[in-house]
C-alpha cells in the first residue's frame, strides 16, 4: 500500500511537473507571440508614419517646385514685358527722329516754293529751278512713303513672336528711308542752288 501511494505520488508529481512545463511553455509562447505582435505593431506604426512623412515631403516638394515654376514664369513675363517696352521706346525714338527730319524737309520745301513764288513776282525767271523743285518734292514724298513703311515695321517688332526677324526687316526699312532722305536732301540742295542762280540774274 505504501508502495502504491509512493507510485501515486510520483505519478502525480510527474503529471504536475509535465503540466507545469506545458503551462510554462504555453506562457512563454504567448509572451513571445505578444512580444512579436507588439514589435510588429511598433514596426507597422513606424512604417505608416514614415510613409505619411514621405507623402508630406513629396507634397511640400511639389508645392515648392510649383512656386519656383510660377516665379520663373512670372520673371520671364516681366523680362519679356521689359524687353518689349525697351524695344517700343527705341522704336518711338527712331520714329520721332525721322518724322522730325521729314517735317524739316517739308518746311524747307515750302520755304523754297514760297521763295520761287516771290522771285516770279519780282520778275525773275525761275523756270530752270522748277524741275529741281518738282524732283525734290517727289523725293520727299518717296521718303514719306518709306517712313510709313518703316514705322509699321518698327511697331511690329515689340509685339512679334519673332522679334529678331521683324527687327532685321525694320533695319532694312530704316536704311531705305535713310537713302530716300539723302536723295531728297540732295534734290533740295540742287533746287536751292538753282534758285540762287536765278535770283542773281
With respect to residue 13, please indicate whether it lies within any of the assigned structural domains. Answer: no
Residue 148 and residue 173: Cα distance in Å, rounded? 9
With respect to residue 25, please indicate whether it lies within any of the assigned structural domains. Answer: no
Are the C-beta atoms of 88 and 158 separated by less than 8 Å? yes
pLDDT given at position 87: 77
pLDDT given at position 176: 93
Residue 143: pLDDT band (50, 70, 90) is very high
Answering whether pTM is above 0.85, one says no
Domain boundaries, position 128: 87-200
Residue that the C-alpha cell 538753282 belongs to? 194
What rounded mean pLDDT belongs to the chain? 80
Q: Give the dihedral sign, CA 70/72/78/83.
A: negative
With respect to residue 12, please indicate whether it lies within any of the assigned structural domains. Answer: no
- Which of 22-31, 98-107, 120-129, 131-140 is predicted least confidently? 22-31
With respect to residue 49, please indicate whether it lies within any of the assigned structural domains. Answer: no
Residue 140 and residue 135: Cα distance in Å, rounded? 9
pLDDT given at position 131: 92
Q: How many domains does the chain have?
A: 1
Percent of the chain with pLDDT over 90: 26
Q: Give the dihedral sign, CA 183/188/189/195.
A: positive
pLDDT tens-digit readout, 118-129: 988 888 888 888
Q: What is the distance in angstroms between the CA of the first residue and the CA of the last residue of the chain?
A: 179
Backbone φ and ψ for 83, nearest 5 degrees, come out as -60, -45
Tell me: pLDDT of 82 over 80: no
The residue ranking higher by pLDDT, 169 or 23, is 169
pLDDT tens-digit readout, 102-117: 999 999 999 999 998 9
With respect to residue 55, please indicate whether it lies within any of the assigned structural domains. Answer: no
- b/e 37-56 (16+ beta carbons within 10 angstroms → b): eeeeeeeeeeeeeeeeeeee
pLDDT given at position 62: 87
How many Cα atoms occupy the beta-carbon half-sphere of 40 within 13 Å?
A: 6
Residue 15: pLDDT band (50, 70, 90) is low
With respect to residue 1, please indicate whether it lies within any of the assigned structural domains. Answer: no
Tell me: pLDDT of 5 over 80: no
Cell for 197? Answer: 542762280
Amino acid at each position: 500500500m505504501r508502495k502504491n501511494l509512493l507510485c501515486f505520488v510520483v505519478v502525480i508529481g510527474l503529471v504536475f511537473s509535465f503540466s507545469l512545463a506545458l503551462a510554462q511553455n504555453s506562457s512563454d509562447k504567448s509572451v513571445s507571440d505578444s512580444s512579436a505582435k507588439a514589435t510588429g505593431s511598433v514596426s507597422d506604426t513606424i512604417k505608416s508614419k514614415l510613409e505619411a512623412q514621405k507623402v508630406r515631403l513629396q507634397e511640400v516638394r511639389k508645392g515648392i517646385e510649383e512656386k519656383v515654376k510660377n516665379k520663373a514664369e512670372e520673371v520671364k513675363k516681366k523680362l519679356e514685358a521689359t524687353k518689349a517696352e525697351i524695344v517700343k521706346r527705341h522704336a518711338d525714338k527712331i520714329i520721332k527722329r525721322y518724322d522730325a527730319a521729314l517735317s524739316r524737309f517739308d518746311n524747307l520745301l515750302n520755304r523754297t516754293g514760297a521763295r520761287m513764288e516771290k522771285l516770279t513776282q519780282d520778275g525773275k525767271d525761275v523756270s530752270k529751278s522748277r524741275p529741281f523743285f518738282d524732283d525734290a518734292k517727289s523725293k520727299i514724298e518717296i521718303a514719306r512713303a518709306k517712313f510709313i513703311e518703316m514705322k509699321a515695321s518698327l511697331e511690329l517688332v515689340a509685339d512679334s513672336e519673332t522679334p529678331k526677324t521683324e527687327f532685321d526687316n525694320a533695319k532694312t526699312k530704316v536704311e531705305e528711308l535713310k537713302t530716300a532722305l539723302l536723295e531728297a536732301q540732295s534734290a533740295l540742295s540742287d533746287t536751292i542752288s538753282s534758285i540762287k542762280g536765278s535770283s542773281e540774274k
